[in-house]
Amino acid sequence: MKRWQPLKLEDLSGDTKAVFETLNEGSDLACVLIGTSYLAELLASAIKVSFIESSVSEKLLDPQRGAVGGFATRADLAYCLGLINKTVYQDLIRIAEIRNMFAHKHLALDFGDSAVRKACDELKAWRPVLLGKEEEVPVEPTPRQIQIRARNLFKLSVVFIGSRIHVDALSKEVQSKKTKTV
């Protein structure tokens, strides 16, 4: 059996279109599970760039048996290594909670659920995209508009955080290569 290895950052770049299609077109469950899995892969790749090249690094990051295989643990480590800032870290933990809401519910769950909407409302990393402007919400939004808004907040957070981790990890990888050649 082939041993698990984190995807290379270049390979994750190629997956972005498929991930975005699922975020936009997939069911709410697919949106949450694929979005979270994408961020988990990005975290593993970003952390691996900070590790020495070794099979032990891959063993630690293995999602099945590794000490740093879990999503929240990867977020913890990425924060402690300075790979992500506090707002991104807090959103990653919130995204893990949202994923767990979907994964541990015995009935179908969607973004219309009040606990899911509340958790999505607490996501913050995407807010700089608004350039300080307040989001316009209809005075009396319909239940469908409320559900769509929660999903959009989740999608924006996955895309924004994913892009940020990706770019930061790529720049760290380039920096690491420069340091090794000097």
2 in any annotated domain: no
pLDDT, tens digit, 9 for 90 and up, residues 6-58: 767 666 667 778 888 898 899 999 999 999 999 999 999 899 888 888 889 88
Residues 148-175 have a mean pLDDT of 86
Q: Which pLDDT value is given to residue 138?
A: 52
CATH of the domain at 159: 1.20.120.330
Q: Which pLDDT value is given to residue 179?
A: 65
pLDDT, tens digit, 9 for 90 and up, residues 94-126: 999 999 999 998 888 999 999 999 999 999 988
Please give the residue range of the domain that contains residue 82.
Answer: 9-181
Percent share of the chain, pLDDT over 70: 82
**pLDDT-derived band at 76, boundaries 50, 70, 90:** very high
Helices 28-50, 9-25: inter-axial angle, 10-degree rounding:
160
Q: Which pLDDT value is given to residue 2?
A: 61
Give 128's DSSP letter: G
3 in any annotated domain: no
Q: Is residue 169 scored above 90 in pLDDT?
A: no
46 in any annotated domain: yes
80 in any annotated domain: yes
101 in any annotated domain: yes
Q: Which pLDDT value is given to residue 177?
A: 66
Q: Say how many domains are in the chain.
A: 1
159 in any annotated domain: yes
For residue 181, give the H/E element and its range. Answer: helix 143-181
Q: Which pLDDT value is given to residue 130?
A: 60
Please give the angle made by the CA atoms of 21, 128 and 155, to the nearest 5 degrees. 20
In a 10 Å sphere around its CB, with 0-12 CB exposed, 13-18 middle and 19+ buried, how is residue 80 labelled?
exposed
